[in-house]
Amino acid sequence: MTAKKRAQDPHETGRSARNNERGEGRSKMEEVTMKDKAFLNDLAREGAIAFKSGRLDRRSFLMLCGLAGVATLAVKANDAEAAANEIVMWNWGGESEKCHGDAIGKPFTAKTGLPLKFDTSGPLQGKIKEMVDSGKVTADVCDADGFDAIALGKSGHLEAIDYNIVDKKQIKEGVAWEYGVGVIFYGYAFMYDTKAFGDNPPKGWADFYDTAKFPGKRSLYKWANGSIESALVADGVAKDKVYPCDVPRAIAKIKTIKADSLYWGSGSEAHDMIVNGEVAMGMIWQNRGKTIEERTNGRYKMVMNEAIAMPGAYIVPRGNPAGRDNVMKFIEQALQVDSQLMILDCLGMTPSNPEAFAKIPEAMQPYAINSAQNIDKVIFNDPVWWADNGGDAVNAFLEAIG
């Protein structure tokens, strides 16, 4: 996309409108200068991208920089060059850095020449909002949740997905949103100790919440996701009637096991609670559950029935440094069947591309959300409900467990 086209993009108009809003107190003159600067900056950035991809020769690129003002742009041209040079993925670190690198980064770099870099500090909603509001956007794509895509899209913090580049057919129905793509699925299942309940294993959330029949402590996720739904299902709400969630009802159910419950905030904490015997049954991310089953030779078993399936969304902070086209190509790569299956193998995150469902390996079938044996048993999270009501639900939940 050329600078000119970019300036005409309705998207960009939106952004400058927001800039004006912020600069209400500024004089007209300053506003014009700011717009000029933004334009020149874009010009240099687009020039750098064109130069890198060979569409622009070196001389013209330098001339462009000169035109835009050498003094101020000596630094900015560097920034612009760096920006056009790479995709920065903002994820949660650990294994995911290696897995995302191998599964998406390598084929993407082979196709586009752009390397993939990581920021592993965890793209929580508040951090993304802060980054976009500050105007210093350093990430191109965030490994976030579906409800983040809805909430931040609505508040104007995200770039819209370009479905001319990203093929909708490769996305599971219902998770191709305007401001994000459900690239993978993960889920909240639970595990139990076979030593305690081996003869009469628990079958679903109703058993999980029944501490009379299945004595022992329980662990749930601290920030309410999955926990609210699990309580509703345990209380007898039909699987397809979970949304909109009746939060007071869920909390009343959770309070029935309050004295016997612990709450975890990270996968490793959930893991520890189960394998250290702190709980007899514990909620767990289903990919972590697979690891526990393997490492303990099946002593702790996972129940995938009624697991709450969460779409993991790739979202693009508004004004991302690598430009919209590049990052859309990256998302398109993430949806390719090979990449999807590699992520499943490496991270245990389930493909979203329906074409990949049938290719889920036998060994992964019991753990994958969208495998033939699980897809009808799980409950698919409603990100729209969470985007609108999540804040209140989390606070009500925290009050109940505190």
Instruction: Write b or e for each residue in 24-47: b if 16 or more Cβ atoms lie within 10 A of its Cβ, otherwise e.
Output: eeeeeeeeeeeeeeebbbbbbbbb
Using rule CB under 8 A, residue 151 touches other proteins:
yes
User: In 178-236, at which residue ranges do the beta strands (DSSP E only) sit?
Assistant: 180-193, 218-221
Contact status, residue 347 vs residue 218, Cβ threshold 8 Å: no
Which uninterrupted H or E stretch holds 313?
A: strand 300-315
Using rule CB under 8 A, residue 300 touches other proteins:
no
Using rule CB under 8 A, residue 209 touches other proteins:
no
CB nearer other proteins, residue 142 or residue 331: 142
Alpha carbons 116 and 330: distance in angstroms, whole number: 9
CB of 127 to other proteins, least distance (A): 6
How far apart, in Å, are the Cα atoms of 312 and each of 180, 217, 290?
10, 29, 18
Each residue 129-148 as x (binds other proteins by CB under 8 A) or -, in order, gives x-------------------
Considering CB under 8 A, how many residues would be counted as binding other proteins?
26
- What's the burial of 93, exposed, middle or buried (CB within 10 Å: 0-12/13-18/19+)? exposed
Q: Which of 215, 248, 265, 361 binds other proteins (CB under 8 A)?
A: 265
Residue 337: count of CB within 10 angstroms of its CB: 16
CB nearer other proteins, residue 248 or residue 265: 265
Q: Which of 127, 154, 239, 299 binds other proteins (CB under 8 A)?
A: 127
CB of 300 to other proteins, least distance (A): 14
Query: CA nearest 235: which of 216, 214, 251?
Result: 251
Angle made by CA atoms 341, 346, 349, in degrees to the nearest 5: 65
Contacting range for other proteins; rule: CB under 8 A; set: 61-69, 74-82, 186-194, 274-282: 274-282
Q: Which of 1, 262, 364, 384 binds other proteins (CB under 8 A)?
A: 262
Q: Which of 91, 125, 230, 320 binds other proteins (CB under 8 A)?
A: 125
Contacting range for other proteins; rule: CB under 8 A; set: 8-16, 89-97, 124-132, 343-351: 124-132
User: What residues make contact with other proteins under the rule CB under 8 A?
Assistant: 124-127, 129, 151, 222-223, 261-265, 269, 272, 276-278, 390-391, 394-395, 398-399, 401-402
